[in-house]
Structure 1
Amino acid sequence: MFKGSWVALITPMDQQGNIDYVSIERLVDFHLENGTDGLVIMGTTGEAATISFADQVKVIEHVCQQVKGRIPIIAGNGANATSEAIERTKALDKLKIDGFLSVTPFYNKPMQHGMILHFNAIAAVTDKPILLYNVPGRTGTDLQAKTVAALSETKNIVGIKEATGSISRLTELKSLCPNDFALLSGDDETSAEFMLQGGHGVISVTANIVPKQMAQLCKLATANEAEAAYTLDKTLQGLHRQLFIEANPIPTKWALHKMGLIKFDTMRLPLTPLEPIHGAVIEQALNLAGIQL
C-alpha cells in the first residue's frame, strides 16, 4: 500500500482561520482525478501544529467520508509526549483511516532508545500500520537507521517517511531493514533519485500542486526508467525548491489560491501569508511545471 505518490495535504482555511471544508472537498477531488496514490492528513503541511486535535479529528473524518475507500488515507498522530501520542492514536484509530504517520518527538530531543520506546508504545495501542516520520530539520531529532531497523521488527511499524534528503541514508536503511519495509521520501527535491535508488515512493508537498506529474514521476522512477524520470523531474525542480522559499505550507497555499483550488491562502499564526517579493519566483516555477496562472 505504501508506495507511489502520496500528498501531504494542506488544510484550507477561511479568512478567520476556520477550516474550509468546501475547499477540502475540492482538493480531495483534484487528487482523486489526477492519480494521487494516497492522502496524508494533518501532517506538517496540514498545519497540525496549530490546529486543535478536535478539529483534526473532524477534518480526517470528513475526508474519510468523502473518499469512501477509493484511495488510502493516513493520519498524523505525532506528539512530543508519548502519552499524548498514545491518546491521539486511540482516538484516530476509531476512524476509517488506513494507517498513521508518526513523527519523531519534537523539541525535547530524546535519545535513540527513548524513540524506540516511544514508537513501540504507540504501536501497541493500534493494529493499523504505522509509518515513522524522520524530519530532523523540523524536530531537532534524527531517527538513525539502526533505530529504524530495530523498530522495523515491530509488526505494525511498516515503513518510514525519510525527510533528510540524504541518499546515503536510504542506502543504509535498505541494508538494515526488511525488503518489505516501505521507504518513502519526504524531500521532493531528491525524491526522484531516492526512488531510482530503491525507494518506494514519496510523501510530497509538490503533489499538492501537480498531482498528475508527481504520480507519473513515481511510476517512472520506481520502474527504473531513469531518463524519463529525470526529464520529468527537471520540470518540477523549480517547484520542489520554491515551495520552500518560505516555511511550508505558505508558498503551497499561495499557489493553490492562485490556481483557484482554495478560496484563501490563510494560515494560523505564527505562520503568515507569502511575502509579495516571492510571488514571481513561485509563478516562474509553476510555469516551468506547465501551470499558467
Structure 2
Amino acid sequence: MKKKWIYLVFLAFFTSALFSYFTFNPVRESIIYFPIDDSITFTKASTSLELVGNEDDDEYLMEWDVHSQTDKEVYLRQDISLLFSNGKLIETLSEWEDQSQKIAQYKKISGEDSAHYEAISLHYGEIHLKDEIRSTQYMTSDQLYIIDSEFTNLFSFKSSQTEEEEEWEKILNKVTEQHLEYSWTELIDYFQIDSQDYFALPLSELAKYNSHSLLQLTKAQTKEVVGSLWEGLYKHYFLGIKTKEGKVLSPIGSTMPLILLANNHSHMLVLTQTEDGTPIKLVQKITFNQ
C-alpha cells in the first residue's frame, strides 16, 4: 500500500511538471511580423522631441518621449525608437509589456552645438487568438532643430517660421544631406548595386507609409513589407550589427539606414556604415501572404 501511494504521488508530480513544461510559454521581448489584425488599432501613438533648456554653459538638454495605446489589451506590446543627429544614430529606446495596452517611455538627451535631430518609432502589438497569431503596428516620428551658437541665444524649432530659422534649417539640412549622400554613394558603389533597380528611402521617411502605399504596392502589401522590414531592422540593426566576420557591433554612431526596395518587389536592401566605417548590407526577401 505504501509503495502504491509513493507511486501515485510521483506520477502526479511528474504529470504536473510535464504539463507545466509544455504549456508554460513565457512572454519575451520580440518584434515578429505576423499578418495584420485590423480589428485592433492604436488609439494613441506619438514620438516627441522637445528642447528642455541649458544643462550648463556647454550643453543643452532635450526630452525624447514615445508612447502608444491600443484599443484592446494584447498579448505583447512593444515600442522601439531610434534617434539620429545630423544623420547618425545617437540613442535607442525600447520597452515591452505583456498583456497590456499602454507603453510610455522617455529619455533626456544631452547635446552640444547646433544639430538636426530625427526620431522614428515603431509601435507594435502581438495578438494571440485561439488558433493563430496576428500583429498590429504603427509608426510615428518627429524632428527638432536645435540652434546652439555663440552668435545667438539657444533656441529650437520643428519647421522654420522665420528667416533666421529658415537659414539654419538650410544649413543643417545641407550638412546632413552631404554626409548621408556621400556615405550612401560609397555603400552603393562598394556593394556594386544598380540604383536604377531600386526605390530608395531613408529610414526617417518610413513613417509616412502608415497610410501611403510603397512603390505601386497595395496598402495591405505595404503593411506586410513595412512589418517585415522592422522585424529585420530590430534583429540585425537595433539589437546589434553582425559583420560577415561574426562580430556584433553597436549601431550607435552608424549612418541612418538607406532602404532600397527592388522595383520588382522581390527583396529589400538596407545599407549603413558603422561608426568605424564598416559597410553593412542587410538583405530581406519579400514574399506576400496569399
Give the TM-score range, shorter chain: under 0.3
**Larger helix percent:** 1
TM score, norm. by length of structure 1: 0.25
**Larger strand percent:** 2
Q: Which has the higher contact order (CA 8 A, sep 6+)?
A: 1
TM score, norm. by length of structure 2: 0.25
